[in-house]
Structure 1
Amino acid sequence: MTEELGSGPAGEARDGTAVPELPGGEAGPGGGPVRAEADHGGEAGEAEPDGEQEPAGVRGYVMTRGVERDKDYRFLGAAPAALWWSAYRDHADTNYPTLLVEAGEGGWRAFVSGIPSARRDEVSTPIRFTLALTGATAAAGGPGAPVRLDRVVRLVALWLEAFTAQEGRERLGRLLDGLFPDEAEVVELRRRRDPQAARTVRERVTALLDALDPPPESGADAAGGPARALPAAWFGAARSEQGASAFVARVRDLLSGEREGRALVLNLVEDQAEAPARVGRESLAVLAVDGGPVRPQPFAVTVPGPLVVTPPGPPVETVPGPPKKFGPLHRRALLFLATPAGAAAMVLAIWYLTHRHHGGKP
C-alpha cells in the first residue's frame, strides 16, 4: 500500500474523520459519498479554494512517482479528500490494474490504476500512473458536461483494451508522459500541496480528456443492443469483448445519470462468490481480470427461505484465468512473503521443520 493509498476504514478520511453522508442519509456504494462536489483536492480534510471547478464539472488527480526508488507513489499537487477506493481492498490490489466507477445523487467518481509510463526507475522498474476523477453527471452538470463525460467513457474503453490484446492503456500512458515530461517537475509536484500545483495537475487531466475522441456507439452499446438488455446486476470477464463492451455501456449510463450504482474491474476476484455484495437494488457491473464468463451473467439472487434445489442449467463458457497457484489467495500469500514479517515467518517455519525432522537434535 502506498503513502496516498492508505487503508483507513471505509467511509473515513485519512485523518479518521467521517466522510459526509449523501443528502438522503445513505453512504455511497463503496462506503463514502457520491456527489458532484464530494471530493475536494488537498490532503484529507483540507479543501481547495472555492471557484476552482473544471469546465463541465470534472475534477482530476494524478498519482505517480519519480525515478528515485526511495520516494513512494503520491498524488501530484493535491489528493482527493476521501480515499474511497480503499473499501475495495479485499477485491482489488490497486497497485495493479483496477478500475472503479461509482455514481449516485447527481455525481460520480472513478479510480483508474495500472496505467504504464515509459519512465523507469533507477533499477529499471516500470513506473505507472493512477487517476482519480470526480464530477457531476450529464443530467446534473452544465451544457458542456456530456461532451467531457464522453471523454471519460473513452478513457475507460481505452483502459479496457489492454485485456483484449490492444494498446489502449499504453496510449493513455504515452499521453500522460507527454503531459508530465519533466522529471524535476514531477518530483516538485509530488512534494507540493498548494492551489497552484493542484490547478496545474487538473489542467493536465483536462488536456488528457480533451485528447480523447468519444467512443462510437457499437451495436452492443446502442439503445436496444445486447449491453442495454442486460439486467441491473451482472458479472463478466475483462478479457472478453462482450464483457468489455457491456461495461463501457454501463459506465456511460452511470455518468449520464441514467443509472445509479457501480461498475468495477477487480483483480482479486475470479467468480461471483468473490465479488462485492450488491447494495439494495443498485446497478452493479463487475468484470474479473482473471477468469469470469465470456458472456456477462446475471448475479445470483439470494432470497431468504427454504432451500430449493433447481436443475442445473447449461454450462457457462468462461475465460481461462491463471493457474490456480497464481490465484488471488496465492498472490496475497506471495505479497506477504515479500514483506519482512513474511520472510521471518518462512525462516521460522524452515527452522521448525528441520529440527522436528531431526528430533530437535542438531
Structure 2
Amino acid sequence: MRGYVMSRGRPRKADYRFLGAVPDPMWWLDYRDHTDPNYPSLLMRASGGKWQTYLSGIPSQRRDEVGTPIRFSLALEGKCGGNAPGAPDDDVTDRVVGLVQRWLEQYTDGAGLTELGRLLDEQFPSDDEVVELRLRRDREAGDRVQDRVTALLRSVEPRPDGAKALEPDGRKSWFDSPRRAEAVTAFTAHVRALLLGSDGRALVLNLVQGAEEAPSVEPGEALAVLAPEAPRRGLPVPLGEVARRRPPGKRAGRTSRISVGRPRRRTVLLFALPAGVVLAGLVIWYLTHRHTSTP
C-alpha cells in the first residue's frame, strides 16, 4: 500500500501541497464537475486487481496565521486482497474500511472525522516539518510520509457495525444519501468489495444533488454514489434506470422547463402583435380627425 498526504503550514504563503511524494496521476481531478476536492469528498475506484482512494476535508487542530482551520487530504493505493496471512496487503482491507467508516460519520453525528484529524495531527505534530515536507520531493521525505501513513492505518480499527452488509435491495449500482444509516452501511460494504477485488467505484460527491447528476455507470462496473445534498425521499435510486430514463442529448441535471397554467412567450407574442397594430391605427385615426369640423 502506498499513501500520500496533502496539507499546509500556518504561514499563508505555505499553501496546500502534498508532503514529500506526489501521486501520479491525480486521478480524482477527473471528478471536478461532480465534487470540489477542497471540501469533503471520498472517491474510490478498483479494477484489474488494484484500488485507489482519495479522502479530503479531514480537519486538523492546527490553524493558519489568520485563524482558518487547516485540513488534510489522503490519497491511498494498493493491491486488492484479503485479510489472510500472506495475502497482498494482508490487513489493509480492514484498516481502509475503518478509515472510510470514520470519514462517513460526519454525516451521522459521529466523531470519526474529528478522530481522523487528531490521528493525523499525531503523525504530523510539527508545523515546521509540514512546511519543510511541502517543498521536498526526495526519496527520504517520501518514505517519511509513507511511514506516517502506515502508522495511521495501524491505529484505525474497523467499526463492528455492518461492514459486510449487502447493497440496498441487491442493486449493483445505486445512489443514496450519506445521512441515511442504511446507505452508509451499504456503502461501507461496497468499499470492502472493491478492496477485495470487485471492479467498480464508491463515490461521495459534494456538488451532486440528484441521481441524474451522478457520473455515468461504466459497462460491467458496480457504482455506489452518496450525495450529502440529496433529499432523503425515494432513496435508494438504481443508477442504471436513471441513465435509461435520461432523454438522449440531455445534460445530466438539466430538465426541460414547461410552465403550467401560463401561456408560453411565443403564444403571447402571436396575439400581442396584431393587437398592437390595431391600437396604433386607432391612435393615428384619432390624431388626424380630432380637429376636423363637422359640416
Common topology (TM > 0.5): yes
Counterparts in 2 of 1:87 and 1:252: CA distance versus 1, 3 Å:
same
Native 8 Å contact 2:6 2:73 kept in 1: yes
In the alignment, structure 1 residue 297 sits paired with structure 2 residue 234: no
SS at match of 2:170: coil
TM-score by length of 2: 0.78
Count the aligned residue pairs: 246
Q: One-letter code of the match for 1:170?
A: T
Q: One-letter code of the match for 1:159?
A: W
Distance 2:39 2:194 in 1: 24
Distance 2:107 2:52 in 1: 23
Distance 1:126 1:239 in 2: 24
SS at match of 1:63: strand
RMSD of equivalent CA atoms: 2.3
Distance 1:71 1:132 in 2: 20
SS at match of 1:145: coil
In the alignment, structure 1 residue 234 sits paired with structure 2 residue 174: yes
Shift of 1:298: 1.2
What CA deviation, in whole Å up to 9, does each residue of 1:159-215 have, x standing for no partner? Answer: 000111111110000000010001111111111110000000000000000001123
Matches within 5 A, 1:1-362: 58-138=1-81, 142-143=86-87, 145-218=89-162, 221-222=163-164, 225-227=165-167, 229-257=169-197, 259-293=198-232, 295-301=235-241, 302-303=243-244
Distance 2:106 2:212 in 1: 25
Which 4+ runs in 1 deviate beyond 4 A? 139-142
Shift of 1:292: 4.1
Native 8 Å contact 2:58 2:117 kept in 1: yes
Distance 1:276 1:293 in 2: 19
2:266 matched residue in structure 1: none
Native 8 Å contact 1:106 1:139 kept in 2: no
Native 8 Å contact 1:65 1:73 kept in 2: yes
Native 8 Å contact 1:235 1:293 kept in 2: no
Native 8 Å contact 1:146 1:256 kept in 2: no
Native 8 Å contact 2:173 2:240 kept in 1: no
Distance 2:90 2:168 in 1: 19
Counterparts in 2 of 1:226 and 1:104: CA distance versus 1, 3 Å:
closer
Distance 2:173 2:232 in 1: 14
* Structure 2 unaligned blocks of 5 or more: 255-295
What CA deviation, in whole Å up to 9, does each residue of 1:232-276 have, x standing for no partner? Answer: 10000011111111110100000011x201000000001011111
Q: One-letter code of the match for 2:48?
A: E
Native 8 Å contact 1:101 1:110 kept in 2: yes
SS at match of 2:202: strand
TM-score by length of 1: 0.64
Higher RCO (Cα < 8 Å, 6 or more apart): 2
Counterparts in 2 of 1:288 and 1:75: CA distance versus 1, 3 Å:
same
Q: Which protein is bigger by CA-based radius of gyration?
A: 2
